[in-house]
Structures are given as C-alpha cells and as structure tokens.
Amino acid sequence: MINPTYLAQRTRSSVNWTDARFRVLKSYREWIRAAPEIQNMYSLNLPVSTVKNKIRQEFERHRYVAQLPAVDVLLFQSHSEFQETLNYWKQLNHVLKYFRIEEDPKAKLPSNFMGGFLQGRN
C-alpha cells in the first residue's frame, strides 16, 4: 500500500539560529540513519560508507549559509529529497546522479574538446 503522507512534515520557518541548527542536525541524522536502507532499496553497488560520505558532502556544501530564510529553504529541499527517496518515488538514475564523477568539483576536466567528446563528457 502506498502512503503518500509517509514522512510528511509541515513546512515551517526557524525561530532563530539555535532552532535552525537543531533542525539541520535532525535532518542530517535522519539521512545518515537511512543510508543503509537507501543502499538496500536502490540496490546500489556502493558501500554504505560511500553513501554516508556523499550525504555529509551535500550538507557540508551549504555549511556557511548565513541567512536564516535560505537555511529554511535548504531544510525544506532536504526533507523533500528525503521523503522522495525513502518513499521510492525516485528512480535509480536520480539517486546515482549524486555519485557521478561530473558532480565532483575536483574531478579532472578534459584538456581539450576532442578528449572530452571521446570520453562522452560535455
């Protein structure tokens, strides 16, 4: 049976920075605890530690956001992604997009157009 309200939350704004910090940590813990289930549900050929590492990278990417409304938007997006992922509303390619080499900013770019074309990169 599909329950679309599973994991649903009311959208709300953070009262202050302490509240925002608490909500971010709660969201982070939810993601980390769900990593083994995500790996199992989507039959990822990746160890759970890699999934957890990618979750941490995604949270670290927004570590220095300095505006409370922006933090609230990021929290909303995080929870939407979490709900879609655990309700199995995503397809495998949606989950794997986070693990592509192209998503890694440190990945080496091709030195010229032809090299990139032959590698299949844009």
71-116 per-position pLDDT tens digit = 999 999 999 999 999 988 899 999 988 887 655 555 666 678 787 7
Residue 3 has pLDDT above 90, yes or no: no
The rounded distance, in Å, linking the Cα atoms of 110 and 10 is 45
The arithmetic mean of pLDDT across residues 48-69, rounded, is: 94
Q: Which helix (H) or strand (E) holds 92?
A: helix 92-96
pLDDT of 66 reads 93
And the tokens for 112? 């010229």
The rounded distance, in Å, linking the Cα atoms of 119 and 122 is 9
Record the pTM.
0.77
The arithmetic mean of pLDDT across residues 50-67, rounded, is: 94
Percent of all residues in the chain with a pLDDT value above 90, rounded to a whole number: 61
pLDDT: which is higher, 107 or 40: 40
pLDDT of 113 reads 79
Q: Which one-letter amino acid corresponds to residue 80?
A: S
pLDDT of 40 reads 94
